[in-house]
A and B are shown apart, each in its own frame.
Chain A
Amino acid sequence: MSVLASIADVVAAACLLAGAFLCLTAGVGLVRFPDVLSRMHAGTKPQVLGVLLVMVGGAIRLHGLAATWMLLLVAAFQLLTAPVSAHMISRVAYRRRHVRRDLLLVDELRDAEGRDSVYRGDEPADAGPQLS
C-alpha cells in the first residue's frame, strides 16, 4: 500500500513539475516572439497541456471525489474556452494589422501582389467580409 502511494506521489510530482515547466516556456515565448499570433501560440501552451498536467497531478494527490470532479471541470473549461478566445483574439489581431505579415508563409487573406483581398483593416470585428 505504501509502495503504491509513493508511486502515485512520484507520478503526481512529475505531472506538477511538467506543468510548471510548460508555464515557464509560455513566459519565455511571450517575451521573445515577434507578434500577437506567435505570442498567443506560445501563451496558450500552459492553458491546455500545462493545466491538464497540473490537474492530473492534483487529482492524484487530493483525496475526495468533490475536488477531483472540480479539477476535471477546470480542465474541461480550459479545453472548451481556449480555442474560442484564441480565435477571437487572432481574428481581431489580423484585422487591426497587429500581425507581422512579412513573416507569414501563407496568407490566404491577401492576393499575390500583397494587397488585402478580403479585409481593409479598419472595419469592426463583427463585420462580414467586404468583397468589392
Chain B
Amino acid sequence: MTVVAVIAQALLGSGALLALVRLARGPSLLDRVVATDTLLVIISASLAVHAALSRDPTVVPVLVVVSLLAFVGSVSIARYVGGMLMQSSTGDGGNVGLPHAAEERAAEEREARR
C-alpha cells in the first residue's frame, strides 16, 4: 500500500503542478478559473487517496466542502467576468469595440515569433 500511495500521490502532485503552470501562465481570467477548478478537484482527490490508503475517515467531510467550494467559486467568477462592462481607457465612456479575440492573438503571436 505504501507503493500505491507514493505512485498515486506522485501522479496527483504532477497533475497539480501542471495545473499551477496554467494558473500562472493562462492568458485570460477564464483559463485561470478552469485551472483553479481542476486544482481543487485534484486536491480533493489527493485527500481522498490519503483517507483511503490510511483507512482514516477524518478528512472525508473536507471533501464535500472543497467540491462545493470549487463549484461556487468557478460559477461566481464566470458570472463576474460575464457581467464586466467593456470600458474605454480614455474615460469618455465610449464604445471600445469588440474584445481581443483569441484567434487574432494567436495569429499575432505567430507573426511575432516569425
Contacts and interface: CB of A to CB of B under 8 A. Distances in A.
B99 A88 contact: no
A118 interface: no
A117 interface: no
B52 A101 contact: no
Nearest to B49: A16
A67 interface: yes
A122 B30 contact: no
A92 B79 CA distance: 8
Contacts of B95: 122
| B interface, size bucket | 35 or more
B28 A39 contact: no
B100 A97 contact: yes
A84 B63 contact: no
Contact of B31 (A9, A28, A39): A39
Contacts of A34: 106
B1 to A, nearest CB: 7
Given A77-B64, A92-B30, 20 more contacts: A26-B19, A27-B42, A30-B35, A39-B31, A43-B34, A44-B37, A46-B15, A46-B41, A50-B45, A54-B45, A57-B52, A61-B55, A62-B60, A70-B63, A92-B79, A92-B81, A100-B102, A102-B103, A122-B96, A124-B82
Interface of B: 1, 4, 7-9, 11-12, 14-19, 21-22, 28, 30-31, 33-35, 37-38, 41-42, 44-45, 48-49, 51-53, 55, 57, 60-61, 63-64, 67-68, 70-71, 74-75, 78-79, 81-86, 95-103, 106
